[in-house]
Amino acid sequence: MTTPPDSLARGCHGIDIGGTKIEIVSYDAAMREAYRERVATPGHDIAAFSRAVHTLVRNGDAALGGRAPAGIGLPGITDTFSGRQLSTNVPALNGRQARQLLQHTLGRPIVVGNDCQCFALCEAAGGAADGLPTMFGAILGTGAGGGYCADGKLMRGLNGIAGEWGHWSMPAALLAHYGLAPIDCPCGKAGCTERYVSGPGMAALHRHGGGDGAEPMALAARANAGDVLAARTLDVHLDLLGHALANIVLAFDPHAIVLGGGLSNLPHLYARLPDAVQRHLLRGIQAPPILPPRFGDAGGARGAALLLRQQLNATAHP
């Protein structure tokens, strides 16, 4: 392992901030876990939110024996020009300069990244795609997002949004094939991919087909038990998701796609999704392996810590 710069000598914190929980994992200088704590996110109260993050980091500092820098994964998108956060999952942060707020709250070196990108980095460096030249981490949860990594490093792009595939538009022809209308998205557009392939998207597909909008795990169980309507919902979802991931192959050509989020726990995706992707690719193009995550829902904090190390090491060794 590369010798860390002085600011990492004591270790570092990785913080994963989501709509329901904030998790900190504190690591020593060799990236061995020293402390872990998870609390509910005070999503509507900025003062309570700041106190929660400050308390978690203070507890992590105590475990490491002193102050340490922090990598932080945030949901949503940061406006490149204003620095303001678009974060529907944590309303208290929406419209605020989240990085400056967290810097003021913690008073130490921090690096802030997108939570989905942190997941991808975690799986690229020591995770399911470790050692591969490129990979794409595709989150399928309440929404859909992701990140692209090359040689174990996160590629963020000009605006820091590389991998934001959930807001690509689903083709009108494919929606029409299933009698689906463009669904409004909180981002302000309609027909965004995540409205159909996420967990709520799968439930919406079931309601569209005449079902009750059950949760994905329940739908999978019903389909396995012979429920024709549930099986039909899974088939439609697979086709739409296969098309979306085929576009990722055309755009990024990753050596593997690692799934994250709640839908990554559905076994049928790994058995059937490669063929669903292949159907939407040009002749002669091979679909990459589609892999389950090694770190599951615990990967966000680790990825945030890795992003911090990546950026601090780049600064120390330009």
The whole-angstrom distance between residue 307's C-alpha and the CA centroid of its chain comes to 14
How many whole angstroms separate alpha carbon 276 and alpha carbon 266? 15
pLDDT digits (tens, 9 = 90+) for 91-120: 899 899 999 999 999 999 999 999 999 999
Give residue 293's pLDDT.
Answer: 97
Residue type, 216: P
Give residue 298's pLDDT.
Answer: 74
Question: What mean pLDDT value characterizes the chain?
Answer: 93
**Residues 89, 75 contacting (CB under 8 angstroms):** yes
34-43 mean pLDDT:
95
How many whole angstroms separate alpha carbon 255 and alpha carbon 123? 13
pLDDT band at 133; cut points 50, 70, 90: very high
Evaluate if pTM is beyond 0.75.
yes
| Residue linked to tokens 């529907």 | 88
Give residue 6's pLDDT.
Answer: 64
pLDDT reading at 305 higher than 70: yes
Give residue 249's pLDDT.
Answer: 98
Dig out the tokens for 161 from the structure: 């949004």
49-71 mean pLDDT:
97
* Closest residue by Cα to residue 148 from 111, 138, 36, 51: 138
Strand partners for 26: 13, 35
Considering only 40-44, 80-84, 217-221, 299-303, which range has the smallest mean pLDDT? 80-84
Higher pLDDT, 265 or 3: 265
Angle among Cα 169, 171, 176 to the nearest 5 degrees reads 130
Strand partners for 140: 144
Query: Is the torsion defined by CA of 25, 26, 31, 33 positive or negative?
Result: negative
Give residue 1's pLDDT.
Answer: 43
Question: Residue 159: phi, psi to the nearest 5?
Answer: -100, 5
How crowded is residue 68: how many other Cβ atoms within 10 Å of its Cβ? 26
Helices 228-252 and 216-224: angle between axes, nearest 10 degrees:
120
pLDDT digits (tens, 9 = 90+) for 13-24: 999 998 889 999
Give residue 56's pLDDT.
Answer: 98
pLDDT digits (tens, 9 = 90+) for 215-272: 999 999 999 999 999 999 999 999 999 999 999 999 999 999 999 999 999 999 999 9
